[in-house]
Structure 1
């Protein structure tokens, strides 16, 4: 049975990978993250504190664990924070990848790397894996630089690009578009939502499954991972309102320009999933199915 090391195991995707491995026992898991373990179950796998910006610590953990593969989920993903703090973004999204890739080359470890639809400019989505990248933000640029590192390496690598991941963690410590919209609508707080950005939101469980499929099939190259439904952010928020029967009249549609965000966002991304479905056997949930899963998990977390 393969041993997998995950980075960023305290994050949404990291916790979903832990959950899936514990439920299915497909691999052995060494979970790592900065700081203490925040996953509520501590049996059935090992956990180590690991700061991806500390190369000596990264090497020590990897040499002790001897993983067959690394699933690298840790990154700076807040697009505006990345724009405002480019140096830290570069360290987290590029330098850390250099450290990990170098160790993967040295020790013949498979490297599964998470990337983003923000490598594209949004002028011509949905995108295929071999479409030309042209990031509009520093976050997107940092992820392109990381992808280039992998392409130029001798490591056994696969890049999984994804879009707008949603879901819940056990401690509800991570927000995302679905939880934000639900929280505001539940309280009756009027919200402004952009109607000119189009995405294919991805259930965190689907992305976790894709990571394990890429591992099991020893996938190589780039794969696009998202949900199957293409919608505007405004449509997404209305679907959240419909699912939980909230008042849609407090949703106001606005343009991206009027938001004055620090970083520029691509307008129309989305992915063509044909290659991933064919090669990996990926079968994502619909958005409505995803909302049902999130709803059930919320109810269970309250019990």
Structure 2
């Protein structure tokens, strides 16, 4: 599928991932939260029926994992029912829906997960994102749900920037060494979407290669990091110990260390 020949709509176009998707689809119609409230069903149906896109890429989400515990209704509206509204609208106009879900739909009791494994989220964020997956499947057949993990990108707040900032403010930065996942560069993810459009409907795992703990990830970014346990660093939302997604249906992307190297050069320009 040639990017220039499809009429794409990107929802959540000003976010970290959305910004890189806009670079990948320069001719897309781009909508931010100010332009479209995905929790408003009538607004979603009206906008998508008016635009009549071939492909809708939904990068809008409420991603504050701890915040979701305090704002559960908002989390379920934005991450759960909102994607369902988009899916219904896509079905009406015959558009393909690409939607981003999360590794946090799993409970972390296994070392790794493939696309067909049964979700069992242990926090509100994961529960709300799983509801989004379910609502999409209920409302359209032509969808690509992409589960992603540990995103970092130039256009938003992320773990890399947090580490760099804390490194200058503290003598030692404590980071947990008992939660494992796959860091993923938003540019690599955005570049992979055209491949996904060619695949059959369903759920896909897309991450950079390489498994690490948050501590190992931090160690690749700053020098003054020290390991700690999750018990030493309590958070409002429970995190899965292992949220390692296996890309079993697509060609693997480069290692996260190689992607991080590119990111660091890009941010230092």
Task: Give TM class, smaller chain.
Answer: over 0.9
3, 16, 23: which one aligns with 2:7: 3
Distance 1:115 1:251 in 2: 30
Secondary structure of the equivalent of 2:210?
Answer: coil
Question: What is the aligned partner in structure 1 of residue 33 from structure 2?
Answer: 34
- 1:74-89 equivalences in 2 (<5 Å): 74-89=60-75
Secondary structure of the equivalent of 1:50?
Answer: coil
CA RMSD, Structure 1 to Structure 2 (Å): 1.5
Secondary structure of the equivalent of 2:30?
Answer: strand
Q: How many residues align?
A: 265
Contact 2:115 2:248 (C-alpha < 8 Å) held by counterparts = no
Could you give the per-residue CA deviations for residues 233-259 of structure 1, whole angstroms, max 9, x where no partner exists? 111101112xxxxxx3x3221111222
Deviation at 1:188, TM superposition (A): 4.8
* TM-score normalised by structure 2 residue count: 0.93
Question: What is the aligned partner in structure 2 of residue 160 from structure 1?
Answer: 146
Contact 1:125 1:270 (C-alpha < 8 Å) held by counterparts = yes
Deviation at 1:286, TM superposition (A): 1.7
- 1:194-273 equivalences in 2 (<5 Å): 194-215=176-197, 217-241=198-222, 248=223, 250-273=224-247
Could you give the per-residue CA deviations for residues 93-133 of structure 1, whole angstroms, max 9, x where no partner exists? 11211211111121111111100000001110311111111
Deviation at 1:212, TM superposition (A): 2.5
Secondary structure of the equivalent of 1:100?
Answer: helix
Structure 1 residues not aligned, in runs of 5+: 23-27, 36-48, 242-247, 278-282
Deviation at 1:21, TM superposition (A): 2.3
* TM-score normalised by structure 1 residue count: 0.83
Contact 1:72 1:114 (C-alpha < 8 Å) held by counterparts = yes
Secondary structure of the equivalent of 2:208?
Answer: coil
Distance 2:30 2:195 in 1: 18
